[in-house]
Structure 1
Amino acid sequence: MNTPDPATVIASARGLVKTYGRGDTAVHALAGIDVDFERGKLTATMGPSGSGKSTLMHCMAGLDRPTDGTVVVDGEAVSAMPERRLTKLRRDRLGFVFQAFNLVPTLTALENITLPLDIARRPVDRDHLDAVVRAVGLQDRLSHKPGELSGGQQQRVACARALVTRPAVVFADEPTGNLDSTSARDVLGFLRRSVDELGQSVVMVTHDPTAASYADRVLFLADGRIVDELREPTPERVLERLGALTRRVEDAAQQTVAASAGLEVR
């Protein structure tokens, strides 16, 4: 697997391990991952259910503590950071977009977008705010509350909220999972433009080959390890890689079952 130039890396992990439980019931969600995410790029992570893709993103974003290994984001050692500093880092320098929109229903779209700045008591950069609002196409919806917006519009508000603080990196976990195909295209198009026009760095977890095709680079996980990557993806190439990966995982599972039963798989 090709490693990006260190000068272009916005976030990295070395020897990243995440284990849930102990003893015979332990689940190894991440099994010693080394990875670099490139600055000013959109990286998608994919893999079968239980492959560790969301756990990887949560550890990178400081939402979950790794069992072992190091995580560095924009020069900060996230994995070793005390909770108070970690909270400040997440608030001031990281952006988040989740499958659930997580908007405050009593606030307008504009108030939801500027909420992180208001909480941090930071002034609003009107030029940057206007650029983000134009990028998401919400100029005529800023006075509307979430209940008056479509699902796609609500997710675009969430995307704008993630970008208004000028974060070092945006972490997006299945950002189109609750959207119809048209709304999903709108949100993915915005994330793509945030990279191309605003210089943003985005790490996205997705199960959708079409969503992954918006990325510069796709990482494939299986059993808590990065097993493949693809640059300049298309939906067809992503689907082909996923199919091969799924077959590999199924074959490995059959080998394990057969070995435990004392059989030989040919």
Structure 2
Amino acid sequence: MACVATVPVSQEFPLVTAFPHVTTPSPATTAVAARATELSKVYGTGDTRVVALDRVSVAFHQGEFTAIMGPSGSGKSTLMHCVAGLDSFSGGSVQLGGTELSRLKDKQLTALRRDKIGFVFQAFNLLPTLTARENITLPLDIAGRKPEKQWLERVISMVGLEGRLKHRPTELSGGQQQRVAVARALASRPEIVFGDEPTGNLDSRSGAEILGFLRESVRELGQTVVMVTHDPVAAAYADRVVFLADGRIVDEMHGPTAERVLDRMKEFDGRGRVS
């Protein structure tokens, strides 16, 4: 989705006004869904050594929508992948719901990702031979679990897919396919949903719809959402924005607007450093 932060959000993206910011509980009184402590990620050795994360500490609270932003190479996707258990880390600690990820064996980590985490990525990752409904329930089917009927119906209704459940991905638009991906991420009632540029392959209106659904899942369903994005407009849907540069957290913004986020991003130079 192209960055259009210079356009007033309420004009270009009417769904922003449909999903206003909700005053979230104070972090001091809200349980932590995931936490990274002194998290480090290093690639290579010697002259090829690259520090992707440099002792990052951050908490993601239950019922909160957090956007992670930063220039290319700042470590934002690496941070999300490590916290989500998709990538290993070199040092520090990651806890998900009180479980320390570094202590888990591969099978345990796979089970945790399946049972506790939902994912929405830029690529829709739908199976072409399955219907929309089958794609939504696929993770539960693989785990041998039956979906909670009322919850599944509520999620499908929220993303507006009632009339498209029998359609296969090729019969759906890009926005509709990503709606399926959002519903799939929410269907198992995960403790936390991670999104890596979830609107990157969508036009602005479809992207606004997906962001609205994620916003609504936080407000109406009590979901915890962590999203990596480069787009100030997308970040404006979040309760807070965490800014990374050079593998470190350099700032945090609560109640963001596209204009404020864009102004903050302008302070990074072309090498991804704080100017």
TM-score, reference length from structure 1: 0.91
Establish whether residue 229 from structure 1 lines up as the match of residue 245 from structure 2. Answer: no
Structure 1 spans left out of the alignment, 5+ residues? 253-266
* 1:21 paired residue number: 44
* 1:94 paired residue number: 117
Establish whether residue 11 from structure 1 lines up as the match of residue 11 from structure 2. Answer: no
CA contact (8 A) 2:73 2:272 kept: no
* 1:263 paired residue number: none
Alignment of 1:1-266 (within 5 A): 4-5=27-28, 7-246=30-269, 249=272
What are the Cα deviations for residues 112-134 of structure 1, in whole angstroms up to 9, with x where unaligned?
00001100010121100000001
* 2:23 paired residue number: none
What are the Cα deviations for residues 31-79 of structure 1, in whole angstroms up to 9, with x where unaligned?
1101111110100000000000000000000000100010001111113
- Which amino acid in 1 is paired with 2:44? G
* 1:258 paired residue number: none
- Which amino acid in 1 is paired with 2:243? F
For 1:251 and 1:119, the matched residues in 2 are separated by 45
For 1:47 and 1:224, the matched residues in 2 are separated by 9
For 1:39 and 1:251, the matched residues in 2 are separated by 30
Identity across matched positions, percent: 62
For 1:251 and 1:225, the matched residues in 2 are separated by 11
For 2:240 and 2:168, the matched residues in 1 are separated by 35
For 1:186 and 1:227, the matched residues in 2 are separated by 30
For 2:127 and 2:28, the matched residues in 1 are separated by 40
Q: Please state how far the C-alpha of 1:251 moved relative to its aligned partner.
A: 6.9
Return the index of the structure with the highest Cα Rg: 1
For 1:187 and 1:236, the matched residues in 2 are separated by 21
Q: Please state how far the C-alpha of 1:23 moved relative to its aligned partner.
A: 1.1
For 1:67 and 1:29, the matched residues in 2 are separated by 10
- Which amino acid in 2 is paired with 1:200? Q
CA contact (8 A) 2:72 2:272 kept: no
Q: Please state how far the C-alpha of 1:249 moved relative to its aligned partner.
A: 4.7
CA contact (8 A) 2:32 2:61 kept: yes
Q: Please state how far the C-alpha of 1:246 moved relative to its aligned partner.
A: 3.4
Q: Please state how far the C-alpha of 1:247 moved relative to its aligned partner.
A: 7.3
* 1:256 paired residue number: none
SS in 2 for 1:37: strand
- Which amino acid in 1 is paired with 2:204? S
SS in 2 for 1:159: helix
For 1:6 and 1:58, the matched residues in 2 are separated by 27
Q: Please state how far the C-alpha of 1:82 moved relative to its aligned partner.
A: 1.1
Distance 1:108 1:27, change over 3 A: same
Q: Pick which of 74-83 and 5-14 moved more.
A: 5-14
- Which amino acid in 2 is paired with 1:59? C
For 1:183 and 1:71, the matched residues in 2 are separated by 33
Structure with higher RCO (Cα < 8 A, 6+ apart): 2
Distance 1:5 1:246, change over 3 A: farther
- What CA RMSD, in Å, does the superposition of the two structures yield over aligned residues? 1.5
TM-score, reference length from structure 2: 0.88
